[in-house]
Amino acid sequence: MTAALSLALPLWVPVLAASSTPQAQPVILVLGDSLSAGHGVAVDATWVALLQRRLTMQGYGYRVVNASISGETTGGARPRLPRALNLHKPDIVILELGGNDGLRGLPLAQVRDNLAAMLTQAQSAGAHPVLVGMRIPPNYGPEYAEQFHAMYSELAKRFKVPVLGFFMDGVALNEKLMQPDGIHPTAQAQPLLLQNLWPVLQPLLKK
């Protein structure tokens, strides 16, 4: 979750195509920050790339499009989502956002409103959103940190969407799985990130 944008994938480029006719495939759109853009990790080693491989190997005919940008906030992603929805017409939208907002101590009402707007946009476009929750250190006090984490489950209940409680579970506190900056997971951590998400995502998949 850094401000550098160099590792962001273009909005219109799929991570991997599972067949020679990707236009006929349903799309999973990933809208996230550096955890999904793959800061410090080779593109083909990110959890998003691993997701595409797993889907292909298990016979799911989905094409994964990564619209994540390192340093992204909910306020930055919110105006980008309508174009992505119109361009890719995804069946599923994975929203992995909010960590940068929390690290900057942005007002939770603002973060909540942005996430709610994106959930509304996705559902209005006929997509099934998946909300990926995060935890933040108590830099701005334990109350802010707890309310930040609770926000994800509250939104999931309100919009009746699946939610992953903590994307970095089993990774964030393991120094061997974190890059020297202490913020970004290593390539070795990417399979664990996918494993954390898979039980929430898999029930939405169709073969």
Q: Could you say which of 19, 124, 153, 181 is catalytic? A: 181
- Annotated active-site residue 128? The verdict is no
3-state helix, strand, coil in the chain (%, to 5): 45, 15, 40
Alpha-carbon distance of 184 to 30, in angstroms, equals 18
Alpha-carbon distance of 128 to 90, in angstroms, equals 8
Q: Could you say which of 34, 36, 68, 70 is catalytic? A: 34
- Name the DSSP class of 10: P
- In 3D space, the residue among 45, 13, 8 whose CA is nearest the CA of residue 29 turns out to be 13
Paired with 21 in beta bridges are none
- Annotated active-site residue 184? The verdict is yes
- In 3D space, the residue among 158, 116, 151, 154 whose CA is nearest the CA of residue 136 turns out to be 151
- Annotated active-site residue 68? The verdict is no
Paired with 92 in beta bridges are 28, 128
Residues 6+ apart with CB under 8 A from 76: 69
Within 10 angstroms of residue 199's Cβ, the number of other Cβ atoms is 10
Which positions are catalytic? 34, 181, 184
